[in-house]
Each structure stands twice: as structure tokens, then as C-alpha cells.
Amino acid sequence: MRRFGGDPETRERFLANLVATRNRILDSAGLRGSETVLDVGCGEGLIAFGALERGARTVVFSDVSTDLLDFCREAAIELGFTERCRFVEAPADDLRLVDDASVDVVTTRSVLIYVARKLEAFAEFARVLRPGGRISLFEPINRFALRDGDTWAGYDLAALDGIGAKLRAVYEALQPPESDPMLDFDERDLVRLAQGAGFFPIRLDLEAVMEPTPPRAWDGFLNSSGNPNIPTLEEAMEQALTPAERDRLVKHLRPQVEQGLGEWRMASAYLVATKPKDR
């Protein structure tokens, strides 16, 4: 609910993009039917179940959330995949419950953005892979979308005398830019980390998009949250703004949102790398 603010059109667009991302991750992994896949930060199992559908022999579902792993267990039972699944509660930077050289492919989708110890995560990926195994990772490059206090989610707030900066302060208190793992890396760092963990060859494709925002329902925009760790816009407004400032913001921002008058920026990295056979 918080991810889409109850907006079905936004949810539909998001899910369509997820499927395309899942397919590209698995295509890039070069998955073969006899192989074992470790999906790190599996969430609701989008990539993991996709790997099973493509014939993976075994898929290890790994996540820090007990609830999400339980969800995946139930889904595996319903789909008849139980015998080919294993479930591990573990963070990306500490996969000790997964044996050395026990998997052929490691996948992630928007996982490292939540991990402060990215170096340790790449070392763990290398450890659990068999020689010749591959990583196939998708990560947003959030630095690309950074804006100043006169904008909000790509919409112009310059006429509002610092209201945007007050909103931004709410989020920066929760995720300080200087220490936020969502902002402490870019595509060059991903390559460096993979190389440092011993992967070779390495390929990274960067996609950067700047385009008009699609029109959105105001209530959905107001009640959605960009990630699980931050408040919705409505919650931030209640915390940071006076009633008069909230009224000014809604009057100014709502037409932009509903008419699609903002600028959407997004950069994403797809990284594929191999653990050499002599390691």
C-alpha cells in the first residue's frame, strides 16, 4: 500500500517494469537447468520464482525478513516448487548459512542500496559461488536523481519559499546523504567492488533516463513512500509543515502531479561478472 499509495495505475507500471528487470537479470545470468541460484534479498520471490520457472535445479531464497520468507514458502507450496527451494534468513553481507562454493548464480534486485557493507557483500557472493559461477545484479544509482531543496520528486517548488527544504530535512534526518547506503555508490563503485572480490570478466550496463513524469492521482502520490524506511509525503508534511504551509504546498504541487508536469530521473546498473575457475 505504501509503495503505490493505493494507486492502481502506478502499481501496474511498476510491476511491468519489475518483470522486465527480472527477465533481464535472469537472461544475463545465462542460467542453465542444472544450476543452483541464490537470490539475495529475494523479497516476494520475483527473481527466485522466475529462475524456478526457467528450470533451475535449486533456488535459495535469502532475505532478512522472516515475513517475506514465509510468504515465499507458502507460494512455493502453492506452485509445487517446494522440493527445489531452500530458505535462508540472512543479510547480503553475511551469508554464513550458505556453504562455500555451493551455488552457480547469485542474483540481486535493488538490494545493495540497503547494504552499508557492500565490500563484504561482494566477498560473500564470491565465497558462495562455485568456480565459473556468475553474479547478475540490478541496482538503482540514486545519486543520479539527487535534487536540491527547490524540487520535490522532480516537481518545481521554487516559488514556495523553502517549503521543499523543510520536507527534505525530514527525509535527510532519517537517511543522511553522507552516510546513506542508497547514495554511497555509483556504477564505477560496483565495478570496483566486483573486481576487488576477484570477479573477471565483468560487464556493467548503465541506463539513465530523464523524461516527463506521467500524470498521477494525487491521493496515490500523497500516500506513497519511495522505500520502506521513509515516510509518505503526507506523513512528512504533517511532521514538518504548518497548516498554512501544507495548504500552499498542495495548491502548488497537486496540479503538477495530476498533469504530469515534473521531470523523472532514474539511472540503473546491470552488472554481470564471473568467478574465475581457478579460484
Whether residue 223 sits in one domain with residue 275: no
What is the average pLDDT across 57-74? 97
**Nearest C-alpha neighbor of 223 from the set 242, 238, 245:** 238
Same domain for 197 and 226, yes or no, is no
Is 106 domain-assigned?
A: yes
Considering the domain architecture, whether residues 80 and 129 belong to the same structural domain is answered as yes
Domain-embedded: residue 68: yes
- Does 187 lie in the same domain as 74? yes
Supply 45's cell numbers. Answer: 520471490
In a domain, 16, yes or no: no
In a domain, 102, yes or no: yes
Q: Is 34 helix (H, G, I), strand (E, B) or coil?
A: coil
| Cβ neighbours of residue 195 closer than 8 Å, sequence gap 6 or more | 202
Q: Where are the beta strands (DSSP E) in 56-98?
A: 58-63, 85-89
Decide: 28 and 136 in contact? Cβ < 8 Å: yes
Residue 119 and residue 223 in one domain: no
pLDDT one-digit tens code per residue, 247-260: 999 999 999 999 99
Which of residues 157 and 6 earns the better pLDDT score? Answer: 157
Are residues 81 and 206 located together in one domain of the fold? yes
Say if residue 2's pLDDT is above 60.
no
Confidence (pLDDT) at 153? 87
Q: Which of 74-78, 95-99, 149-153, 179-183 has the lowest mean pLDDT?
A: 149-153
**Percent of the chain residues past pLDDT 70, beyond the cut:** 95
In a domain, 152, yes or no: yes
On whether the CB atoms of residues 72 and 96 are closer than 8 A, the answer is: no
- When pLDDT is cut at 50, 70 and 90, the band that residue 116 belongs to is very high
Pairing outcome for strands 103-109 and 155-156: unpaired
Condensed to tens digits (0 to 9), the pLDDT of residues 180-232 reads: 999 999 999 999 999 999 999 999 999 999 999 999 999 999 998 888 889 99
Same domain for 117 and 74: yes
Tell me, yes or no, whether 5 and 102 share the same domain.
no
How many domains would you assign to the chain?
2
For the chain, how big is the Rg over CA atoms in Å? 20
Which residue type is seen at 210? Answer: M
Nearest-angstrom CA–CA distance, 272 and 60: 19
Residue 250 and residue 193 share a domain: no
Q: Tell me the mean pLDDT in the region 124-140.
A: 98
Q: Does 115 lie in the same domain as 79? A: yes
Any domain includes 174: yes
Let me know if residue 25 belongs to a domain: no
CATH of the domain at 75: 3.40.50.150
C-alpha span between 58 and 55 (Å, rounded):
9
When the pLDDT of each residue in the chain is averaged and rounded to a whole number, the result is: 93
Model confidence at 101: pLDDT above 70: yes
* pLDDT of 189: 98
pLDDT exceeds cutoff 80 at 20: yes
Q: Return the sign of the alpha-carbon dihedral for residues 125, 115, 88, 18.
A: negative
For residue 61, the model assigns a pLDDT of 98
| pLDDT (0 to 100) of residue 112 | 97
Instruction: Give the confidence band of 3 by pLDDT, cuts at 50, 70, 90.
Output: low
Same domain, 202 and 74: yes
Helix axes 46-53, 8-29, angle to 10 degrees: 50
| Residue 40 pLDDT > 90 | yes
Q: In terms of residue numbers, what domain contains 242?
A: 1-10+147-179+214-261
pLDDT of the residue at 5: 56
Q: At 16, is the pLDDT very low, low, confident or very high (cuts 50, 70, 90)?
A: confident
Reported confidence tier of residue 138, pLDDT bands at 50, 70, 90: very high
| Same domain? 41 vs 170 | no
Of 77 and 13, the one with more pLDDT: 77
Report if residue 23 sits inside a domain: no
